[in-house]
Amino acid sequence: MLFWFVATAVLSVHLVFRDLAFDHRLLIVGAVLPVVGGLLGDPSAVLLSMAAPVVVLVAVMALTAGRKPIRRTLLGLPIGMFLHLVFTGSWTDGQRFWWPTLGGSTADIVSPVSSRGLWNLLLELLGFVLLVAMLRRARLDDLERRRAFVARGTLDLSGR
């Protein structure tokens, strides 16, 4: 599942921040990182708990103290990771969500995506439709807008 996580993360950030300068590239990476990590096996199970985005957020804040432009860019990564937890439903299993604070091993962590069955297909289709609608609204058919997205990660979803 990729379209669902990309679409929900981009839409959520747009609705909450309404920031035309927000860099969506690392947001997208953060939103799909646990999916890509899931292909790697057990070590990626940590990405389905609060531990990973919290550690990444703390690292970004500590390493970029006093450097606002780079901090602003890098914050997209943990925001995307947090949004993945929201839209995957990881919060529905306390053992997984709060690992390692409630104990257990990473072998006990199973992605909620694997237990949804056909719902995944519906969510992925919905994500694809949302993504196409957002790309049209951002007018990424325009070369300059595509270049701005590639260079700066900016998307104007206001419809202007």
Q: Is 146 inside a domain boundary?
A: yes
Model-wide pTM > 0.85: yes
Q: Is 160 inside a domain boundary?
A: no
Q: Which residues, including other chains, have CB under 8 Å from residue 89's CB and lie 6 or more apart?
A: 112
Q: Is 100 inside a domain boundary?
A: yes
Tokens encoding 24 = 């969506």
- Number of folded domains that form the chain: 1
Q: Is 85 inside a domain boundary?
A: yes
Show the domain range for 53: 3-152
Q: Is 157 inside a domain boundary?
A: no
The per-residue pLDDT for range 13-30, each reduced to its tens digit, is: 999 998 888 999 999 999
Q: What's the CA gap between 148 and 127, in Å, rounded?
A: 23
Q: Is 158 inside a domain boundary?
A: no
pLDDT score, position 40? 64
The per-residue pLDDT for range 110-157, each reduced to its tens digit, is: 677 777 778 889 999 999 999 999 999 999 999 999 999 999 999 999
**DSSP annotation of 98:** T
Helix axes 51-63, 76-88, angle to 10 degrees: 170
Q: Is 43 inside a domain boundary?
A: yes
pLDDT score, position 151? 95
